[in-house]
Structure 1
């Protein structure tokens, strides 16, 4: 299981590496209305040219998958067509400290923008869950978005944003505590890593990995954002506030 997940996650991350092609992009979806999803973020490593997706959750924070981490990441906001990218914004990556590339779980990362975004019609944030959600409380009809190939293993990546509806499986079928999952050949694959699983205008999940089940069906896993709210809130605090709370905590222990 861990070896298969490791291979799959690498495929998701490196789908746009020259000469490489497997299951790419949002398959079986439709082209999004230009700029109708202003929270979507295109992520690219300027050195390796590997790409991922992400979504804006605050003016200075983008959320994505931890396996998308790179040394030269830049985010592109307000993108519809990747042939016409705006200036990229450099970021400080903060992957979850328990994430390991050879095992599933904790596949979540915050990218702090070195220059905060200016919110407007084409650049907006998306809401996160306000509390840890019981699996049965999340809407089952959701949407995934991304840039990528329009068919499995054939053709160039789509330059425009695509989206597809997916139906979440029962939590018992998902089998892992910190993930949500959907089944079928419609949805995300390589190149869509880090993109949001949107249910009812709230980002509930992050595209993480997929695997073939014993019945031959393709099952896609999404990091369940609601399981990480404490870590998210802590990671998104301004550095000065984090330093103050650490200092205060140490002082309280001394007292």
Structure 2
């Protein structure tokens, strides 16, 4: 079956049956303790109103998914409740040049026009130090975001939510640069670009999901460790 990418204003690819969807939201999650994930970044396009998640990896760089790229992006740091957003920060986007709105290379860096001031509610998260050997299955992983609370309908969460996810054997997981989680819990519409955090390290970026024939969902994450050289080059040269 061919894979079709249908992008709506919320960067949510509606599920085909079976099919392919892109995200924004945590299904089956719990409300995060306020500011317990200080690296989380709320990303909003001021014109299209599309939202995504992201995460702070250096005082001047946020990481997110390339499919979250829009023309009027702003990032909001230290957010818990989106009813109370701080001033947004303008960014310069650096999507991976090989991303073409199909699976693969779904990674982007956003350079903040004004670097963040780190404090107890705004902090960076560590990235992998080396490439994940032979796609070893990651453990103790979780996702988080402000997205939809159901895969197909409902409203966006106004407060940050999080959920533990079950990682799958990545040998048969989408494209060669992805890792996967499965089950009834995970990201949904509005959570694109958020981190897959395993042991306090950002190991992946929420990219898309596939609905399986049994009704469960398999989420694909861009595997950050495969892009370490690209990340260093972009962050050091810009």
Give your verdict on TM over 0.5. yes
SS of 1:227's equivalent?
helix
5 Å matches for 1:82-97? 82-97=82-97
Q: How has the CA–CA distance of structure 1 residues 153 and 135 changed in structure 2, closer, same or farther, with 3 Å as cutoff?
A: same
Aligned residue pairs total 229
Cα displacement (A) at 1:213: 3.0
Higher helix share: 1
Higher strand share: 2
Residue in structure 1 matched with residue 76 of structure 2 by the alignment: 76
**Mapped pair 1:14 → 2:5:** no
5 Å matches for 1:1-255? 3-4=3-4, 6-7=5-6, 10-11=7-8, 13-15=10-12, 25-101=25-101, 103-135=102-134, 137-239=136-238
Q: How has the CA–CA distance of structure 1 residues 113 and 51 changed in structure 2, closer, same or farther, with 3 Å as cutoff?
A: same
Q: How has the CA–CA distance of structure 1 residues 149 and 189 changed in structure 2, closer, same or farther, with 3 Å as cutoff?
A: closer
Q: How has the CA–CA distance of structure 1 residues 155 and 42 changed in structure 2, closer, same or farther, with 3 Å as cutoff?
A: same
- Provide the C-alpha distance between the structure 1 equivalents of 2:72 and 2:149, rounded to a whole number of angstroms: 27
TM-score (norm: length of structure 1): 0.84
Q: How has the CA–CA distance of structure 1 residues 121 and 73 changed in structure 2, closer, same or farther, with 3 Å as cutoff?
A: same
Cα displacement (A) at 1:150: 2.3
Question: Contact 1:24–1:153 (CA<8 Å) still a contact in 2?
Answer: no
TM-score (norm: length of structure 2): 0.90
C-alpha deviations, 1:60-113, integer Å up to 9, x for none?
A: 000000000000000000000000000000000000000001x21000000000
- Structure 1 vs Structure 2 CA RMSD: 1.9
Question: Contact 2:23–2:209 (CA<8 Å) still a contact in 1?
Answer: no
Q: Which runs of 5+ in 1 are unaligned?
A: 16-21, 240-255
- Provide the C-alpha distance between the structure 1 equivalents of 2:113 and 2:174, rounded to a whole number of angstroms: 38
